[in-house]
Structure 1
């Protein structure tokens, strides 16, 4: 009769209920411990491996151009992590120390109307034209020209920049710059 009360009321004896609960708790704790023992060290190892292999990113950026007596442009250079890739020479030329792909970019902003077109020319070595940007001579006071693209540069090559008609019509603040980074 006592057995029928258990079945009619849908009750499960306490001993059976506790043993199933204890088994579930034990399985959950074992799975959690296994997860902690396997996954956490794996994540730490991956993080350490990726962190130790992070590449050095070289970025060279020139701003605030000024002219010397001979009309050459003197740039204020900011070289970030470039000691093994690029060297800034005393002649205002960037020397490539490691061959590879480099992304070169430039912008020139004209702030005065002039009769001629204004041009910024980027050279490799002495007289090899790498890129030339030409802006309009329209009646607008402020006009910008810019470019950016990847180039393969070889060790020992030197880069430099020229602007026609000097810097008298060019913004020498943060709107005129050029630079590159190693890809």
Structure 2
């Protein structure tokens, strides 16, 4: 009789079947616990890192040039997130507070015809020429010149720009500007 009971319930006795199910349940619970302990904190860290505030970019932009003393131009400055990188000093020079790569750009738009070439010059530390843009003296009323490129600037460098023949023929609106941003 015992043989038929053994065949009715399959090849595995009930006690062995129950112990295998308990072992598999324990393994499943252990894997689930490991998953919760490892993956969930990892997901939380990734979520916090990805959603943290992106680094702010220092951007200094000058517009609305007006005449100053000794060929200096007075600019209307907008400094965004630049407190530790750049500042505008009292002489209308842009002072670098932190060494690094900066992208400097400029545009000058001439709105009246003039006889000579018009030039905007960007200087570093009063006497080092960084860039000079020269426009044509064509018959056209409105002509723009522009440039943009990266420079390595050191802490303490002071930048300023000048225009060769005054601001009377230069657009003082949003078409004449210069600035930089920290790379």
Q: TM-score, normalised by structure 2?
A: 0.76
Is 1:79 the counterpart of 2:64 in the alignment?
no
Q: Distance in 2 between matches of 1:57 and 1:63?
A: 19
List structure 1 runs of 4+ shifted beyond 3 angstroms.
34-44, 50-54
Residues in 2 aligned to 1:123 and 1:36: alpha-carbon distance in whole angstroms:
60
What SS does structure 2 have at the residue aligned with 1:106?
A: strand
Provide the C-alpha distance between the structure 1 equivalents of 2:109 and 2:40, rounded to a whole number of angstroms: 53
Question: Which ranges in structure 1 are unaligned for 5 or more consecutive residues?
Answer: 1-33
How many Å apart are 1:35 and its aligned residue? 8.4
Deviations 1:105-162 (A, max 9, x none): 0000000000000000000001100000000000100000000000000000000000
Q: Structure 1 pair 37/92, CA: closer, same or farther in 2 (3 Å)?
A: same
Which consecutive residues of structure 2, in runs of 5 or more, have no partner in the other structure? 1-33
Q: Which residue pairs with 1:133 in the alignment?
A: 133
1:41-52 paired onto structure 2 within 5 Å: 42-52=42-52
Counterpart for residue 91 of structure 2: 91
Give the drift of 1:74: 0.2
User: In the alignment, what sits opposite 1:68?
Assistant: 68
Counterpart in the other structure of 2:54: 54
2:65 touches 2:75 (CA, 8 Å); kept in 1?
A: yes
Equivalent residue pairs, number: 153
Q: How far apart are residue 48 of structure 1 and its match?
A: 1.6
Instruction: Mark the structure with the bigger radius of gyration.
Output: 2
Task: Show the counterpart of 2:173.
Answer: 173
TM-score normalised by structure 1 residue count: 0.76
Q: Is residue 103 from structure 1 mapped to residue 107 from structure 2 by the alignment? A: no
How many Å apart are 1:36 and its aligned residue?
A: 8.7
Paired with 1:156 and 1:92, the residues of 2 have a C-alpha distance of 15
